[in-house]
Structures are given as structure tokens and as C-alpha cells.
Amino acid sequence: MGKQKVVISTDLCADLKSFLSSASYDKLFVLTDTNTRDKCLPFIQKVPQLKEARIITTDAGDLNKNIEILAYIWRILSTEGASRNSFLVNLGGGMITDMGGFAGATFKRGIRTLNIPTTLMASVDAAVGGKTGINFNGLKNEIGSFYPPECVFIDCNFLRTLDRENLLSGYAEMIKHALISSIEIYTSVLLFDPDSKIDYSFLNKLVAQSVAVKEKIVEEDPKEKGIRKALNFGHTIGHAFESLTFKKDAPVLHGHAVAAGMVCELYLSHKVCGFPMDRLRQVISYIKEYYRPISFDCTDYDTLCELMTHDKKNEGGIINFTLLAQIGDVRINQSVTKELILESLDFYRESFGI
Ligand code: GLY
């Protein structure tokens, strides 16, 4: 699997122009959704090479990350004569970078892809690391591949138009990267206040730092055989919360579910690996200040455990957790009793007064 290049850009058009000038390719395609076509595409179309690109547009939202829309993208690539030496530029949030990445991975057994994430979630997570895919059979990212883009261009200027909820959703992954890496990174991440006037140059630095954490892990273990599982911290219970809110027709954004998942999994970390309680309280107080609680009660516990068992990261029906002994001291493949998982759900509800 090739290594992707990540450019943290302060002048996206100049960086794209120079990348495309030095690359040799035949055709350019840009995948957008209706939002990024209207809000972000005009900005990059200042790049001369992109003026002639064929634009492919899908409806926005994760529900569109499906086989029908994927076939629509393949069809346009096919009828417009895309070759293995064509570029597909994925301009959007995680839905676009996941699905465009997978279209690129599969069309003619692989064409060239570039990611330009436009949300914080995609910038620090989805667009980086080579995971691509679509939802299938009611399951998120059920079909996919590891197929890194040649380059990811991250420009925090796109984040200026993000609403608070989407900003916080991406920020949860940055808190996760901080918790699995070092005290220094953790301390800087907790300094960010999404409710005061946002300092975008500080955010840019935090994003660069967060992406570097992910890149280092992915480089070591691109196909998630071992240490890449560190990136699943907060996600075993987080995904279950996400699916539960979806079932209840009151979906929360991925990062908000992960923030709640991290609270539960820090509790498990405390119980199983001795993660310090004072740090746990500090993380809870940050999450409590900015993230609304996930609404659930003890009648949801069985469903939540069932959802955790079906997470595709598990093998043989055993729920596998990534836990922490300290900030930066990651323990993968931890199995936990059902009693303790339920205790962690109780702990969340007590902590958030629900
Ligand atoms: N989002 C977790 C990973 O890329 O492995």
C-alpha cells in the first residue's frame, strides 16, 4: 500500500496548482456533493487545471454513501473515458472521501485519487489513512478497501463555514488522537474553546498535530492488524450510541457519539488498566461543557450490547476494546465483562445527570 502525502495548506489553490503541474495524468474528475459543489468548488476552480475537470455531484448526507450512487460515479467515469492515469479529486466531508476513495480503488482496479476534506471530521480522520468504503445492507462502511489517496490537501479555511455541531464532531476525534498520543498534545487540545471567537491559526496547528498522530500510526500498521486499533478508542461504545440514536430517529453526529463513547471507555480504562481517575474527571468536564449528553436509559442496555457485539472490528462474538493505562499508553485487544460494560453506561448517565 503506497504512502499518502499530506499537505497542510495555507494557500490551497497554489498548492493544488503546483501538485497538478508536476503530475502527469490524462483526465481530471472532481467528486462533490451538492453542498461542496456550491460552497467549496468555486474556490478550487481558480486552479487552471481544474477549470476543465468533469464535475460529478451527489446529494449530501451519509445515506447517499451507497451502492446506487457508487454505480452512478463508476458510470460517469466509464462513459467519460477515465483511465488508470486519471485523477478523481474528492472534495467534501467523510461521505465524499470514503465513497470517492472506494470508486477510485475499484474503477479499472484503481485510478489515482486526491482528497480535499472540507469538514474537520474528514480533515483529521476520514480523508487520511486510506480507509474507503460505502454503507451496505444497513451497515456502515460494510464494503470497502484500504486505498490511500496520492495526496490529501487540508485547508482550515473550509472550516470557517462549519457549524458548531460539525466542528465539535471533528474535535472529538482530535481529543481521541490526543488521548492516545501524549500529555503535551492532550494539554494543547483542551485549550481550544469552541464557544469563544475561533482562532483558526491555532486550530490549523492543532489539526496538523492531530493528523500527524494518525499518520504515524497508519504508517506503522496500514491494514489495522495491531496498533492502528488505537484509533478505535472510544468507538466500540461510540458506534453503538451512534446506531442507537439512528434507530430512535434522533441521530447524533459521529463525533458526538464518540465523545460519549470515550467517557465510557475511559471508565473501562480506569477499571481494567488503572487509568487515573483525576484525568478521567478532567476529560469528562471538557466533554460535559461542550457536548450534549446522549439520551438513553437502562432499557437500551441490551440493544447497546448487541450493537457492540456486531461491530465489524470484533472477531468470534467477543467485544474487543482499545483502552488506556495512561494518556499515550494504549492497550489494544482488551476484553471486558458485560457487567463492566453496563457499569460504564451507568457511569456515563450518572456523570451527565441523565
Ligand atoms: N478512523 C479510524 C481509522 O482510520 O483507522
Using a CB cutoff of 8 Å and minimum separation of 24, what contacts does 211-214 make?
A: 211/6, 211/8, 211/123, 211/124, 211/128, 211/154, 213/177, 213/178, 213/180, 213/181, 213/185, 214/124, 214/125, 214/128, 214/129, 214/177
Take atom 5 of ligand 1 and give the residue whose Cα is closest: 231
Cβ < 6 A, ligand 1 pocket: 125, 129, 131, 228, 231
| Distance (Å) from CA 169 to ligand 1 centroid | 15
The pTM is what? 0.94
| Distance (Å) from CA 128 to ligand 1 centroid | 8
| Distance (Å) from CA 125 to ligand 1 centroid | 7
Find the DSSP H helices in 143-276.
Answer: 164-179, 183-189, 200-220, 235-247, 254-273
For residue 129, the ligand 1 atom closest to its alpha carbon is: 4
Question: pLDDT by residue for the chain (354 residues), tens digit each?
Answer: 667 899 999 899 999 999 999 999 999 999 999 999 999 999 999 999 999 999 999 999 999 999 999 999 999 999 999 999 999 999 999 999 999 999 999 999 999 999 999 999 999 999 999 999 999 988 889 999 999 999 999 998 899 989 999 999 999 999 999 999 999 999 999 999 998 888 888 899 999 999 999 999 999 999 999 999 999 999 999 999 999 998 999 999 999 999 999 999 999 999 999 999 999 999 999 999 999 999 999 999 999 999 998 776 777 667 889 999 999 999 999 999 999 999 999 999 999 998
Take atom 3 of ligand 1 and give the residue whose Cα is closest: 231
| Distance (Å) from CA 131 to ligand 1 centroid | 7
